[in-house]
Amino acid sequence: MKNRNFMHQWIVGIFTFFSFLCFGLQSSHAQTSKNTYPNKSIRLIIPFAPAGVTDTSGRYIADQLSKKLGQSVIVENRTGASGNIGTGLVAQADPDGYTLVLGFDGTLVINPNVFAKIPFDSVKDFAPVGKIGDAVLILVANNNFPGKTLTDVIQISKKDPNGLSYGTSGTGGTPHIAGELFKQKTGANLIHIPYKGGGQALIDVLGGSIPLVYTAVAGAAQYVNTNRLTPIAVSSKTRAPSLPNVPTFIESGVPNFEVSSWVGLLAPAGTPKPIIQKLNTALNEILSSKEGRDRLEEMGIVATPETPEQFEEQIKVDLAKYRSVVKAANIKVE
């Protein structure tokens, strides 16, 4: 019996020793990984084609993060399915901080509501790093349009039995959702005209083919500033820095109307919090600098340094907000 007890104690002792040894090595490795992150290049997936505002802002942030972190942040454009393909790839990537995605409101909070099926869950599959900023949206009119204010637009639309046409960059995009929300809040009789991009919509409103376009300030500002288009209102909470004389929808009589197209950084769910925090700190340093603010403002984006938790909360709130708009408007994308 004594020998059995001795043998049992000896086995338990050996097991305990190796358990502490393994735990110590794992803890040491984990701590070393966190302390040395990043020790290789980081991949930033941009789920859209090069040259657009989203791509340009992402490339700027990637360049600045490279300087802050001491490692290259390599941009990779993975296009398709309105951003769903590239975003889905990151949802399945290793949660080690070396694969990030440029998240766009259209992809993360609108696509889940308008597509029957997408390859990711916007809340469960990602760890938000931080929001980069808000791209302000604006409603502009052809100069021959008789209205000059938002009230004019509403009144003119209600008098026309055929409705008043407004163009956007496409079905299910943020400008389209904003237009539908405007209709629901005011009863305006508006007819959506989807284009394959905001550029063509602007060309048609300039030429008089359509009276109105809902688009990003970044694309419309040059035509407003040269008096080639009439600005009606911006749908951000406050006026756009690049167009300070243009009123907001709220100022124009539509309470609580706030729709901006935002962009931010996300990592796969399960990425260690110290890594998320390090990325967030570096990102917010960029956004808080005068150079960063000015550079993004040139792209029509208002920098918004925030915590990962604040960004996560906005994703959840916007998912719910746009779900009701999409359902009421019966917007679907195959």
Mean pLDDT of the chain: 89
Q: Is 100 a residue whose pLDDT tops 50?
A: yes
Domain architecture of the chain: domains with CATH:
41-134+261-329 (3.40.190.150), 137-234 (3.40.190.10)
Model confidence pLDDT, tens digit, residues 144-159: 999 999 999 999 999 9
pLDDT > 70: what percent of the chain? 90
- Specify whether the CB–CB gap between 176 and 330 falls below 8 A: no
Burial of 35 (0-12, 13-18, 19+ CB in 10 A): exposed
Residue 9's pLDDT band (cuts 50, 70, 90): low
Question: What does the alpha-carbon distance between residue 146 and residue 230 come to, in Å, rounded to a whole number?
Answer: 10
Residue position matching structure tokens 């803890």: 27
pLDDT score, position 218: 86
Give the three-state DSSP class for 274.
helix
pLDDT score, position 196: 82
Q: Could you tell me where the DSSP H helices lie in the chain? A: 2-36, 53-69, 84-91, 105, 111-114, 150-159, 174-186, 198-207, 217-225, 273-288, 290-298, 308-329
pLDDT score, position 300: 85
Residue 199's pLDDT band (cuts 50, 70, 90): confident
DSSP track, 153-190: HHHHHHH-TT-EEEEESSTTSHHHHHHHHHHHHH---E
Q: Is 315 a residue whose pLDDT tops 50?
A: yes
Model confidence pLDDT, tens digit, residues 155-181: 999 999 999 999 998 889 899 999 999
Averaged pLDDT for residues 320-329? 92
Residue 133's pLDDT band (cuts 50, 70, 90): very high
Model confidence pLDDT, tens digit, residues 205-221: 999 999 999 999 988 99
Report in angstroms the alpha-carbon separations of 56 from 70, 218, 295, 301: 21, 12, 11, 11
| Nearest Cα to Cα of residue 65 among 134, 135, 123, 129 | 129
Q: Is 10 a residue whose pLDDT tops 70?
A: no
pLDDT score, position 198: 83
Q: Is 1 a residue whose pLDDT tops 60?
A: no
Of 4-8, 120-124, 266-270, which range is least confident?
4-8
Q: Is 80 a residue whose pLDDT tops 70?
A: yes
